[in-house]
Structure formats: structure tokens, C-alpha cells
Amino acid sequence: MRYVRHVDRGVFDPDEFHSHFIADPSSGLDSCYCILTRVPPGKGTTRGEHVHPADQLYYVLSGEMHVLLGGDERVARPGQLVWIPAGLPHWNWNTGAEPEVHFELIVPAPERASLVLDPGSLPEPAAAFPLVRTLDSSAFEPERFSQVVLADRASGVESVSFGIFRVPPGRGTELHAHRFDQIYFVIEGRMGLEIGFETYEAGSDTLVVIPAGMPHRNWNPGGEPEYHVNLRAPQPNEDFALWDLPVRYGAPGA
């Protein structure tokens, strides 16, 4: 498996709605689909209104997204998350003057053949929590490695934990592992990584896939804060204190 996957935006057709699948079951990630989508002005979802058999989440990186959610038209801008529960009819488009770009997640990963379905083919959910959520940047701790959670079980999303981390220069984590897949998408800045016995550096538009059980740590080697999406899939059931399992390398008995 490739743990670090950079997206060159040159892959996008400048004149068409284009979704680039960064990681999915066909490339070794069984828990979800991770996608980067670019929507030029005047374009929208080519299929029109549709549903998915799993939750879909959009995090807007640039531009302005218009999205129809079960008949309710909404607008999402950079720093906002759109949660689309499984079975909710929706489609999105761009009426602005600039391209709209968003990071996209479909979780848990359905079969590719049933990824997109017609409205009415699944029961429509009754969402009791907000479908559009705004990142509160004031909640970050300026001097600490800190996260703002936008979607998790406490806010109605059972399938995944979705947060944004801010990492000040020189800050990072100790070596640890999880019982679930952890996925990062770098939004801004530089991320240093140790995954297994290898080290990497990731910049913006880079997806990092850390399979369950893989020892890893990350830090900010740059001079400016680093921001990244943080996904835990599937969302763990155990107490938060058990999420990070410490790892120590050494000879047996050392």
C-alpha cells in the first residue's frame, strides 16, 4: 500500500466537473473512499440528484458550493463540512466565478457498482443534526497540537470521526498505533511523518493512509502552522483514552 499520496491538480479537466479518487478499496483502503473534486464555474454533478448507500461528507477547500440536500438548497464555503446521510437525495453545483474544490469522503465503502443510486431507491433518512457545519478556528489552542471535531457519534454521524487538526511549528505526536484506519488530508503547511520504519514529508493536497495497527507519528517541520483533515474509520467504539496505543521499538527484553 502507498501510505502517502499526493494529488497534482493538473489531473483535473479545467472545463468539467472532475472527481479524482485518491484512495478506495481498489487501491488498498477498505474502510472508505477518499476523493478530491474540482467543480468549474457553471458545472455540477453530472448525474444530477442521486443517493449513496453510505454517508458522504464534503469539506470545502476553496470556492463556493451550492448543494441541494433533500430539497433544501444550501451554500457551503471554505471551512465548512457538508454531511449527507446515506439515502438522502442531493446534488451540488458551482454558480460562482471561481472553481470550487472539496475533499470528499464516502464511508463505509460500498461496492463500486452501487456507489451512486437513483433517488427513492433507499429509505430517506430523517437527520436530527445539522447537515452543514462550520469550523470554529477560535477553538484551536495556539501553542498546542489541537483538533476541532466537525462530525462524530456525538453529533449524529455514526460512520466516521471527522476533525481538523492544527499543528504549530515543532509540535507533533509520539509513536503510537490504532485499532482503526487513520487518514489525514493535508490542507495547508508541511507534515513530517514516520510510518513503520519509513519517514516522509507531505504538503497540501496530500492524503496519508495509516492502516489499523501501523506504528506512526507526525509533526510539523515547517515555520508555519500545519492544518489537516483527520479521519478515524470506522469510528471507534472504545473510550477515547484507548484510541492511541503507545509503541516502543527495541530488542526483546530490552
pLDDT, one tens digit for every residue, the chain (254 residues): 899 999 999 999 999 999 999 999 999 999 999 999 999 999 999 888 999 999 999 999 999 999 999 999 999 999 999 999 999 999 999 999 999 999 999 999 999 999 999 999 999 998 789 999 999 999 999 999 999 999 999 999 999 999 999 999 999 999 999 988 999 999 999 999 999 999 999 999 999 999 999 999 999 999 999 999 999 998 887 665 567 777 877 666 65
DSSP string, the chain: --SEEEPPGGGS-TTS-EEEEEE-GGGT--S-EEEEEEE-TT-B-TT-SBB-SSEEEEEEEES-EEEEETTEEEEE-TTEEEEE-TT--EEEE--SSS-EEEEEEEES---GGGSSB-TTSSPPP---S-SEEE--GGGS-TTS-EEEEEESGGGT--S-EEEEEEE-TT-B--SEE-SSEEEEEEEES-EEEEETTEEEEE-TTEEEEE-TT--EEEE--SSS-EEEEEEEESPP-S-GGGTSEE-----TT-
State which amino acid sits at residue 213: G
pLDDT at residue 238 in the model: 60
Both 231 and 153 in one domain: the answer is yes
SS3 sequence, 173-193?
CCCEECCCEEEEEEEECCEEE
Residue 43 resides in a domain: yes
State which residues form the domain around 25. Answer: 4-120
Cis peptide before 142 (omega within 30 of 0): no
pLDDT at 226: 98
> Which of the listed residues 60, 95, 120 is the one where a domain comes to its end?
120
Give me the residue label for grid cell 454531511: 83
Q: What is the pLDDT of residue 208?
A: 98
Shared domain check, 94 and 10: yes
Query: Quick check: 51 and 91 in contact, CB under 8 A?
Result: no
pTM of the model: 0.94
In a domain, 130, yes or no: no
Same domain as 98, residue 40: yes
The answer on 73 and 24 residing in a single domain is yes
Within a domain: 129: no
Domain presence at residue 81? yes
**96 domain residue, yes or no:** yes
Same domain, 241 and 141: yes
Q: How far apart are CA 68 and CA 89, in angstroms?
A: 8
Q: Are residues 151 and 242 in the same domain?
A: yes
Residue 254 lies in a domain: no
Whether 127 is covered by a domain: the verdict is no
In a domain, 217, yes or no: yes
Residue 37: give its domain's CATH number: 2.60.120.10
Residues 68 and 107 in one domain: yes
Q: How many distinct structural domains can be found in the chain?
A: 2
Q: Are residues 143 and 223 in the same domain?
A: yes
Give phi and psi for 139, each to the nearest 5: -80, -10
In terms of Cβ atoms closer than 10 Å to its own Cβ (0-12, 13-18, 19+), residue 156 is: middle
Q: Is 128 exposed, middle or buried, given 0-12, 13-18 or 19+ CB atoms closer than 10 A? A: exposed
Do 78 and 151 lie in a common domain?
no
